[in-house]
Amino acid sequence: MKISNIILIFLFVLPFAFADLRVGFYCTSCPSAETIVRRAVRRHFIRERSITADLLQMHFHDCFVRGCDGSILIDPRGRKGSEKQARINRNLEGFDLIDEIKAAVEKACPSTVSCADIIALATRDAVALAGGPRYNVPTGRRDGLVSCPSEVHIPGPSLSVSQAFESFFRVRGFSLNEMVTLLGAHTVGFTHCSFVRGRLSSFGNRDPPMDPALDAKLGRICGSAQRPARNDPQIVLDQNTSLVFDNEYYRQVRMSRGVLHIDQQLGVDASSRGIVAGFAANENSFKRRFAEAMIKMGSLDVLVGNAGEIRKNCRAFNSPR
């Protein structure tokens, strides 16, 4: 049985609602919503396959700050900042796709579909297009009313496994297995030299040890302590199949080719290396677990009912706040 069919069956037998969200929330109020999202994502994916990584990063950063409420989309205005200004968010891309989708759904169903749901649906479709699992996304989220850069506390890539788990994932109800699973999004992810220099021999560092060939390759991209590369070049996290959603990330980690400190730590830490080995050996298991973890993440502290609002423009609150 295909992995996509397994996941759909698994989801069917799960409780239908997650924190007052439900699959098919817009079936009556905006029946074309998910089709609009799917078609827009496909158009962008054909032009630029890295949109999968962009959306995954956007969705993660949105859900792990205030909850999945679209606060990551707000533009700063005047003296009022927004989450986009936080250092870890400054290189985020994909906002143009969200704008395109929002304009289309507003035309079809004004003030009905939230920006938070658009992120979740677009991410789902982009993951599937890249070869990842197909899963149902419960919808019904509403958009948040706050976006503050000082509230952005995404764990940095220099944390140990225990630090990342205890301070960030466990407190949000995730198991260690789910943390390792969600970090598997790095199979289509990317970073920048500024987050990698601490691991490179050209900058005087190699902890934990990196495959010498990869160390030399990244040194050519990022430069050295004496001559760092300009403009903070982008680096893919999966050096083999960077545009395909598969389990290659875990295989690379097992060969000491994890780009970020946390990536490589997953492969050497006693608490996580067995999980990494299991996912490296079984792609179907990884994809199934990833779908489950994404659905769980998408229900974090969501706004439902009359809470929040349905933004008309994803980049701005409906009224001054």
Residues noted as catalytic: 61
DSSP H/E element including 234: strand 234-236
d(CA 55, CA 127): 9
Distances (CA, A) of 177 to 80, 181, 269, 275, 289: 38, 6, 13, 7, 9
SS3 152: coil
Burial class (CB in 10 A: 0-12, 13-18, 19+), 76: middle
Contacts of 175 (CB under 8 A, 6+ apart): 169
For residues 293 and 298, give the distance between their C-alpha atoms in angstroms, rounded to a whole number: 8
Instruction: Please give the Cα distance from 69 to 203 (Å, whole number).
Output: 39
Report the distance separating Cα 283 and Cα 262, nearest Å.
21
**Dist CA 176 CA 278 (whole Å):** 14
Rounded Cα–Cα distance for residues 234 and 117 (Å): 28
Q: Rounded to an integer, what distance in angstroms lies between the CA atom of residue 21 and that of residue 7?
A: 19
| Residue 192 three-state SS | strand
The CA dihedral of 310, 57, 151, 78, to the nearest 10 degrees, is -60
Tokens at 174, concatenated: 């995730």
Task: Quote the CA–CA distance of 54 and 81 in Å, as a whole number.
Answer: 22
